[in-house]
Structure formats: C-alpha cells, structure tokens
Structure 1
C-alpha cells in the first residue's frame, strides 16, 4: 500500500517537469521510500529534490559502485597531469603485479575491467574488503580468471583497490587522500571516501528489500553456483560471503571508504562531482580537459561481460552510460551506477550532471528502473534550456 510522500526541494525555471516526474515516481513507491535527485546543467544546479520520512537534502546514503566514479576521476586527473600513463604496463608502477602471468597487462586494460582479477580463489573477509591495500596485495598473487587483456568482466569489489594501488605507488598517497585533497574538499562535495565520524548522524542505513516474485524468478533463471565468476566477483564463494545489502551499514566500511563500493554521499555530492568534472562551477575550471574526458569516456570494453553475463560497456573506469543505461544521452556520457539503485553520470554534450540516491536496496541491481524516467526528464529539460 502506498501513501502520499511529500517531495521537497527546488527546481530552476524550465525544470518543473522534473519535479512532476519525481513526484510521480515517489507516488508509485512503497511508503518507506527515501530518495534524492540532483542535477546540474553547465555548472548550475537546476534540480535539488528529496522525499521520504526522515530524508533531507543533506542526508547521506551508501552509493556502492558509484564510488568507482570518484576513484576513476582521481585516475583521470593523474593521467592528465602525466603522473600516470595508460599505455604503460601495470608492473612499471607495481612490479609484484607480474605474478601468475599478469606482467604484460597495461593500465588501460586494467581500467577497462580486462585484468581477469575479479576476486580471489578463497574470498575476502569483511576486514579485508575494508582495506584496499590488503585487497591489492592478495590480487597481486592471484592467478587471473582469463588471459589478461583478452576479454572483460566487471571487477565489482576490487577495481578500486587495483586502481588505488597504482595511485599509491605513483604518488605515495592513497587514492582516498588524493580524492579528498584534489576533488572533495576544494569543491565542498558531500561525497566521501571515508566518512568522518562527525557526519555519521546524517547517514541513513541501507534498508534490506526482498525481491518481488517476478524479480525472484529472474534471479532464479540466471545460471548460478558457488564458484561461478559472478560468485567470485561478489565474494559469495568464501568462508565469509558478502551480504551487499548490509555491507555499507558496517562502520568499518564507511570509515575506510574502499574505492570500489565504500562511498557515502548525497545526490548533491554525486551530481556536484560530475558537474565539477565537465563544467566551470563557482568560478572553478572543469577538473578534466576535453581530451582527458574524451579518453576516459571512450568505450574500451563492450559486449558480453563475463561476470554479468549480459551486454555491458565500459570506458576507462567509468561505465559508458548511454550504451549501458540511458541511450537518449549523448555519445561520450560517462558515470557509474550503484547496486542499490543509485545512478550518477555526466553528459558532456548537454552539460548535464546527474545524481540519484535511494535508501532501500533495489532489484535486480544497478541503476534503479526509475532512473530511466528521471534522467530522461532532466535531459529533456536540459536540452530545452537556453
């Protein structure tokens, strides 16, 4: 049974249809819905909405794999600086990575989910998943699950640690430290890779959700088993299998901010980061130059994902958002979703930066279905705005 849930916040002139679409989405949700929607166009915030009992514009939610967008913005900045070179072998930065036949892999292929290192044979403990350096150390010794560079599969829980270890070797700083110093703090973003204790009162714990009968039937129809690539990638095969729904509710995860899944933020934080990436915001130049942005947005892996077992498309660290999620977006749109329904992206051609969060876990995973409606409404309004 649903009830009226008041939509709060503001929209700029011309974006009133976005508020109406958000209200329609909320009206069709369960009465425990909480969510936020934020968007910028050419560096100006034009949508800032939220709904749900207890929700506020500055409430903080787990963003799961949308964290990867922040992690790979760090990588893009370091490539832009010349600190990293995407066509160097990973071993140039990280010699130990050469074990088990991985020595020829380039940073470009690693960022495009082509390393074949989706997990380890025996799995990770919770403490290990919270520590990117430990994940990287274990993966350096791991035999890849396919010949590196020949195919791709989503490195769901580990790509941030792999990228982070290269960042640490090249800079002497953790990826989280570089993100804080160069991206989050200067732009005042409410998107944290390591949530300070002072912000804990604003965090809204993830609410578990059981799939509907139709969703369960879809899940049951997927080939599954304890030792499939999907199980290994999501750490379901070891002695301490991961419960994704409860993972961010662990303070250990929120405090350390592992770069694959540990981010905590608001829709304002997500949209603000992508706005800062592509646009001038508050007098600050865009973080990425056009050539860097184009290189990281360019599709590097497309087709059958060995882990997801369905069509996917990746740039360098980022999802190719138009090909994977929203085909109405412009070529070169890039971003990253989260398994709980979160969505975030930039569409450089329209100048749009988008962030959506929700508290309750979503099935079947990835950007929740309502993002199709919300992102389309924002995109239409953005294209119509002078």
Structure 2
C-alpha cells in the first residue's frame, strides 16, 4: 500500500482523504502538500513514490524540479530589491540594463518583465535548449532582439526566459547570479530546502519528473504566432528536467528544486503582508504591488485567459474556477504543481508532485486538493 505521511489539523482531515484517494487511484505517484494558515501548518503531507515504477518511497526530504513554481521565487527576489529601494518596477529596464533598449525596447519597464508583457518571451531563431544554460549570453541575445508584440498590450508567457530577464537585472544591481542571490537572501534566512538548479550532492534524493502522457508538438502551431516563436525559442520536453545539464543550470524560470514545505516557507511571508518567522521580509506596500493588474486577457503564448499582476497571476475564474476571488497571488508549475498565497485568509497552499498532468496550468489533482482545503477552512471558521 502507498504510504502517506505527515500531519493535518482535525478540521483538515478531508484534505488527507483527498490525497489518499488520488494515491489509491494511481493518478498521484509522489507528492508533498502543505497548507499554512497564519503561520500554523494545518496540512503537512508527503508520500507515494519518487519513481514511476513505484519502488522508491517519497520521503520527507525528497525534492523535485518544480518547473514554473520557480518563477514565484524569482519574483520574490525582485520584490526584495524593490523593497530595498534598488529596483523600480515602473522604471525602464534600460535604466539598469542599458543594452536592453536595443531594437525599440527603450520604453519596456521592469513591470513588463514581471508580468510577461515585455514582448520578449524567448530567443530568436536559431535557438537550442543548450543556449539557455549560458544564462548571461542568452540574456544578451534577448536584449538585442526586437519585441515580438507591442510591450504592455498583452501577456505572452515567458516560459523559459523569465529567469534570464529578471536574473540579469539582479546581476546588474547586485553583482550576484540569480541563483546566489536567492540562496543568500531567501533560502538561507527561511531555512527552506530549495535551490535554483541542483547541487551534485542532492541528486540521490531527487524525484525525477514523470512526463505527461500527451506530448505537445509546437511544430503544429501557426509559425507566424508568438506561441510558435516562444515554444521553439528553444524547443524542449519534460525529460530535459532529469538531465545533468538542466539540473546544473541557473534557470530562474523553470529549474527550481524543492518540495511543498520549502515553497510554503519561502512564499508564506507574501500571505502575511511581508512578515516572516524571522522578521519583516517585505513592507506591506511592496506586497501590495503584486495586485496592480498589468494584463487581463488571452495569453499570446499559452492561450489561457489570465490576469497578471506584478510577478504573480491573479484569480481568474474563467481559467481556474477553483481558486476564489480576492487578494490572491498564485502560479503553477508545468504538470500541476501550485503555489497559492491568499492574503484575505492569510493562507498559503503549496503542492509539488512528480507525475505531470496534461493541463497547461493546474490539474484535476490540484483542483481536488484546493477545493478540499478551502472547504475545510470554511468549516473550521464556522465551528
């Protein structure tokens, strides 16, 4: 029998039941799920298996590639610089990175990078995945490009290059790589078990990602679209996440490694108006910037109807009806992982797994857990 470990508060037992049901059905292979309410861990679960053959148990310290959940940490790094007065989200990117002004991008602002509206959502052709592993050279190529659409007019999801763009700003302001900045200013203070990329000594506790059963073929897209240019600039598949080259890279868009507890420890201060267990991480006004809506409509790359704030998506019931309205910031990783920061309820939800679903954002499993969590919270508040 597949083992599920950890604890839940009594009113959140239905969440454990939901997870056990997904494990029994085989939909879930291995996972971790954490819910923090105002600093209290009301759900802290992990279990299943690290491998597709279900021979290696998912342990407390198991980590995995969390795909675009990495972007939520990269955005937090940017907010730290905003909070310190070193970065202005309404300033042109070129103030900090002069080369970025090339080819008509002189008016692109930092907020456009943080909201996926910059017009630069990938590399011009020719592009190989290996090109992204030299992060500063790739960023220089992006700085020289023409925007693929008018910046600020729509979102075009920055699938793999979000960390290159924000990471170059971090480097220009601090002299550090994004990976090192995150480690020093986010990971170490929080004690979270998270890293952009992967240290060699941690390979033995990593759960490989299990690719979705339906392959996405970007060659079927209209070649004149931003979606085609993005998904082929460069092309990649889920199996790349299990390779040494991917794991060694500094990809602030997609190769963060951690588990649900680590993600919750990092992001919970956003839920609590900037307060962390170790002091005030951000000013409340800095957290408030997240909710300055930057775009609202069909994304030019992934096709979803999305509302982007600064650094995080905002609730949109048309796309994810199981995330309620309100002061909520969130994003998910490819395959179904989710990070939800609900400021109204002072609740942080973090879900990480290895068996990837086929949906672009979220999954039936993520929906089932999130629905059970919100129902348990309502029931708890009534009792």
TM-score, normalization by structure 1: 0.89
Partner residue in 2 for 1:35: 31
Could you tell me how far 1:379 is from its partner in structure 2? 2.3
**Cα contact 1:321–1:345 (8 A) shared by 2:** no
Partner residue in 2 for 1:374: 369
Give the stretch that moved more between structures: 86-95 or 7-16: 7-16
SS in structure 1 of the partner of residue 164 of structure 2: helix
Q: Structure 1: 5+ residue runs without aligned partners?
A: none
Could you tell me how far 1:261 is from its partner in structure 2? 0.5
Relative to structure 1, is the Cα distance of residues 144 and 281 closer, same or farther in structure 2, using a 3 angstrom cutoff? closer
Written as runs of structure 1 = structure 2, the 5 A alignment for 1:241-320 is 241-243=235-237, 245-279=238-272, 283-320=277-314
| Correspondence 1:185 to 2:188 | yes
Written as runs of structure 1 = structure 2, the 5 A alignment for 1:217-236 is 224-226=221-223, 228-234=225-231, 236=232
Q: Structure 2: 5+ residue runs without aligned partners?
A: 50-56
Could you tell me how far 1:300 is from its partner in structure 2? 1.5
Say what the alpha-carbon RMSD is for the aligned residues: 2.4
Partner residue in 1 for 2:171: 168
**Cα contact 2:6–2:46 (8 A) shared by 1:** yes
2-structure distance, mates of 1:372, 1:343: 10
Partner residue in 1 for 2:17: 20
Partner residue in 1 for 2:7: 10
TM-score, normalization by structure 2: 0.90
2-structure distance, mates of 1:282, 1:308: 34
**Cα contact 1:113–1:153 (8 A) shared by 2:** yes
Give the stretch that moved more between structures: 4-13 or 133-142: 4-13
**Cα contact 2:92–2:110 (8 A) shared by 1:** yes
Written as runs of structure 1 = structure 2, the 5 A alignment for 1:1-386 is 4-30=1-27, 33-53=29-49, 54-211=57-214, 224-226=221-223, 228-234=225-231, 236=232, 241-243=235-237, 245-279=238-272, 283-321=277-315, 323=317, 324-385=319-380
2-structure distance, mates of 1:168, 1:237: 23
Could you tell me how far 1:74 is from its partner in structure 2? 0.5
Could you tell me how far 1:298 is from its partner in structure 2? 3.2
**Cα contact 1:322–1:334 (8 A) shared by 2:** no
Relative to structure 1, is the Cα distance of residues 322 and 193 closer, same or farther in structure 2, using a 3 angstrom cutoff? same
2-structure distance, mates of 1:80, 1:251: 35
Count of residues in correspondence between the two structures: 372
**Cα contact 2:196–2:255 (8 A) shared by 1:** yes
Relative to structure 1, is the Cα distance of residues 326 and 44 closer, same or farther in structure 2, using a 3 angstrom cutoff? farther
**Cα contact 1:341–1:367 (8 A) shared by 2:** yes
**Cα contact 2:89–2:110 (8 A) shared by 1:** yes
Deviations 1:90-133 (A, max 9, x none): 11001101111000111122211111111122143233222332
SS in structure 1 of the partner of residue 348 of structure 2: strand
**Cα contact 2:115–2:155 (8 A) shared by 1:** yes
